Structure 1
Amino acid sequence: MILDFNKYVAKGNEFLHLLEDNLGSSDRAHAARILRSTFRVLRNHLSFEESLQLLAQLPMAIKAIYVDGWTKAAHKRIHTVDDFLIEMIQEEGNTAWRDFTDKSEVIDCVRAVIETMRLYVSAEEMDQALGTLPARLRQLFEASELL
């Protein structure tokens, strides 16, 4: 079997293009930073098994972003929306000032990632993964369906 890496690249680019659209931006670097940060924060709060189930449905190149730097450690429990937002900003590090002007922008960016993921991941799997988050946080991200 010959691996067609161009196919993986095309699907990854398709995902990033859709994310750019959902972000309302044509800045590929911005979309990539938001995707990476959102994945890293989400995977911190999902069980290992839940992450694997979610990951299985993503395009190969996007899977690579999800697993980049990942170590199998006990997942954290997040308790408040503010805790999640602070973690997102910390994950962005020195580039956070370029991507976020306030808390609502962080929420909008995470919603854009989730909305893009919904195009690739089954509704049941997305509901199951988001269902592990605190109710208030889950409600913020479920609202993305209404956008």
Structure 2
Amino acid sequence: MSGTGYPTFDTTVDKTNRLLKEIEHAYGWPKDRRNQSYEALRAVLHALRDRLTVEESAKLAAQLPLLVRGVYYDGWDPSKVPQKMGKDEFLRRVRGEFRYDVQDGMERLVQTVLQALRQYVGEGEWEHVRASVSRDLAAAFPA
């Protein structure tokens, strides 16, 4: 657990670190590559955020840990959403923000990040998000 002296901050730092560790563990990345797992999380969050409507985006963000929510909203322009993206466009968008080479390609990276995020999002909201994206992209979402 982090030691900022503020329980809310300590909790969100701890949750964010656990989420990043889950991504790292899935790839066998050592902790010293934390920036790589952060960039994976950021790239997927931004592509997803820009695919959703403002209302759906806000509902999803409300369920994320506070620190992750900040990453989600960083640089967001709600006047430019939703952007229509099928799976291929979504993967290209993630690739554009993720500068590292990754084993098994972008689709596995997206699935890994979504799986890590899944633990923070309620079943109903997760299904709303899945229903808001194209059918081929929804297939990448863990059930």
Q: Counterpart of 1:127 in structure 2: which amino acid? A: E
Residue matched to 2:93: 87
Contact 1:39 1:66 in 2 (8 A): yes
**Aligned-pair Cα RMSD in Å:** 1.9
* CA distance, structure 1, for counterparts of residue 92 and residue 122 of structure 2: 28
1:20 lines up with 2:29 in the alignment: no
| 2:56 aligned residue (30, 34, 50) | 50
TM-score, structure 1 as length reference: 0.81
Residue matched to 1:127: 127
1:60 lines up with 2:66 in the alignment: yes
* CA distance, structure 1, for counterparts of residue 61 and residue 111 of structure 2: 18
**Percent identity, aligned pairs only?**
27
Give the Å deviation of 1:3. Answer: 4.5
For residues 33-57 of structure 1, the C-alpha deviation after alignment (integer angstroms, 9 at most, x for no partner) is 1001001111110011111111111
Q: Counterpart of 1:30 in structure 2: which amino acid? A: Q
Gaps of 5+ in 2: none
Give the Å deviation of 1:82. Answer: 1.8
Residue matched to 2:112: 112
Residue 78 of structure 2 aligns to a residue whose secondary structure is coil
Aligned residues: 135
Contact 1:22 1:115 in 2 (8 A): no
| 1:6 aligned residue (3, 10, 18) | 10
Q: Counterpart of 1:137 in structure 2: which amino acid? A: L
Runs of 4+ in 1 over 3 A off after TM superposition: none
* CA distance, structure 1, for counterparts of residue 124 and residue 17 of structure 2: 25
For residues 97-126 of structure 1, the C-alpha deviation after alignment (integer angstroms, 9 at most, x for no partner) is x2346xx51011110111111111112111
TM-score, structure 2 as length reference: 0.83
Residue matched to 2:46: 40
* CA distance, structure 1, for counterparts of residue 121 and residue 66 of structure 2: 13
* CA distance, structure 2, for counterparts of residue 23 and residue 132 of structure 1: 28
